[in-house]
Amino acid sequence: MANKNFVDYVKIFCRSGNGGAGSTHLHRDKLTKKGGPDGGDGGRGAHIILKGNKQLWTLLSLKYRKHIRAKNGVNGSKDRSTGADGKDIIIDVPLGTIAKNAETGETLFEITNNNETKILAKGGRGGQGNYHFKSPTNQTPRFAQPGEEGIEDWFILELKILADVGLVGFPNAGKSTLLSVVSAAKPKIANYAFTTLVPNLGIVSYRDHRSFIMADIPGIIEGAHEGKGLGIRFLRHIERNSMLLFMVPADCDNIKNEYNILVNELKQYNPELLDKKRLLAISKSDLLDDELINEIKQYLPDIPYVFISSITKQGITELKDFIWKELND
The answer to whether 229 touches 261, Cβ cutoff 8 Å, is no
Q: What is the mean pLDDT of residues 95-110?
A: 94
Question: For position 233, what pLDDT does the model report?
Answer: 61
The sign of the CA dihedral 52, 58, 61, 63 is positive
Q: What is the average pLDDT across 80-109?
A: 95
Mean pLDDT of the chain: 86
Q: What is the pLDDT of residues 127-138, one digit of tens each?
A: 999 999 998 888
The rounded distance, in Å, linking the Cα atoms of 249 and 247 is: 7
**Average pLDDT estimate for 80-90:** 96
Q: Where are the alpha helices (DSSP H) in 166-254?
A: 175-182, 235-238
Q: Residue 18 CB: number of other CB atoms within 10 A?
A: 26
Listed in sequence order, the residues at least 6 apart from 210 whose beta carbon sits closer than 8 Å to its beta carbon are: 324
Q: Give the pLDDT confidence score for residue 4 in this predicted structure.
A: 55
Mean pLDDT across 205-225: 75
| Residue 189, pLDDT score | 44
Residue 2 has pLDDT above 50, yes or no: no
- Tell me the domains of the chain and their CATH numbers: 1-159 (2.70.210.12), 165-327 (3.40.50.300)
Residue-wise pLDDT for 161-203, tens only, equals 778 898 888 887 788 888 888 886 564 444 433 444 567 778 8
Helices (H) and strands (E) in the chain, counts: 5, 14
